[in-house]
Structure 1
């Protein structure tokens, strides 16, 4: 029964964060243009704010490409990509730590054959599995929640995240840079 209580605690915490985000008015202000302007106006503090907003956005289901697009359009593909890599890693780590704190390894406690088989693969090669999942799904919040609740060690999660994010971020940087140039967006 403890696993259900932990999952309920995770769900309630995320619902409260989403409600605060929605009712505080931050949702209306958090846009591609807002992120772009914050990054241009204040290079260092803009990147810090960018990372914090990325972490909050990841918790409440805002797609990471919104942040990546803003960074590339504001800072260019190289610096925008680097800022996104740092912010995405920070975001994934924040999500992992919060969800692990609240939910522990609740998924590992389920008596489901498919879940146990997936977790066994994760246990065999945790860094490789996390890196592969990052290449395919980048910072998708559901992936972060599942990995957090899976019982994977933080160091393996971080290693897989650091290895798996560069390729998709680089590809998205090229895409958003091309799109920005084609549409004359700066």
Structure 2
């Protein structure tokens, strides 16, 4: 039971964080209209608010596509993509450090062949593994939690994140740009 205390601490921490955001009403700010309006109000402060909300949203399971769509609609395909890439990297790094601080490398303490095999593959090729995971899952919070708790070195995490996010973000930007044009979104 002792070896799972840190994992329990992570679960309790995330539950409390989600409850604070839910009951304080802050979670209502995690929507497309709010984020879009912040960009329109002032691009510089809007970008800062966008980054902070993306980082906090990633911790409490807000899907990244909401942030990306808001950035594309407010800033266009290219600058929206750049803003999202910067915010996504900062968000992933923030999540990594918060979860690592609370949970350490608790996944290393799980016994079993399946866990040992997964961690051995991650250890053998950490950057390549993280790039592939980012291509498939982008900034999915559960992925960030698992990688933080896996004991992977931060440098490998950062390099894998930096290399793995551009392609999926570019594809999503093109998709949201196409969608906005096809649906004749006002102001786009």
Question: TM-score when scaled to structure 2?
Answer: 0.97
What residue is the counterpart of 1:123 in the other structure?
Answer: 123
How much does 1:184 deviate?
A: 1.4
> Matched residues in 1 for 2:132 and 2:6: separation?
27
> Matched residues in 2 for 1:126 and 1:27: separation?
34
What residue is the counterpart of 1:146 in the other structure?
Answer: 146
The answer to whether the 8 A contact 2:68-2:81 is kept is: yes
Give the total of aligned pairs. 186
What residue is the counterpart of 1:107 in the other structure?
Answer: 107
| Alignment map for 1:13-32 (pairs within 5 Å) | 13-32=13-32
User: Which shifted more, 21-30 or 71-80?
Assistant: 21-30
What residue is the counterpart of 2:77 in the other structure?
Answer: 77
Q: Deviations over 1:94-143 (max 9, x none)?
A: 10000001100000111111111110011111011001000000000110
How much does 1:3 deviate?
A: 2.8
The answer to whether the 8 A contact 2:30-2:62 is kept is: no
State the secondary structure of the residue aligned to 1:139. Answer: coil
How much does 1:26 deviate?
A: 1.5
Matched, 1:174 2:170: no
> Matched residues in 2 for 1:17 and 1:25: separation?
12
Q: Deviations over 1:26-84 (max 9, x none)?
A: 12232101000101211111111101100111111010000000000000010000000
User: Which shifted more, 167-176 or 2-11?
Assistant: 2-11
What residue is the counterpart of 1:4 in the other structure?
Answer: 4
Can you give the 5+ residue segments of structure 1 that lack an aligned partner in the other structure?
none
> Matched residues in 2 for 1:127 and 1:166: separation?
15
Question: TM-score when scaled to structure 1?
Answer: 0.98
What residue is the counterpart of 1:137 in the other structure?
Answer: 137
Matched, 1:45 2:45: yes
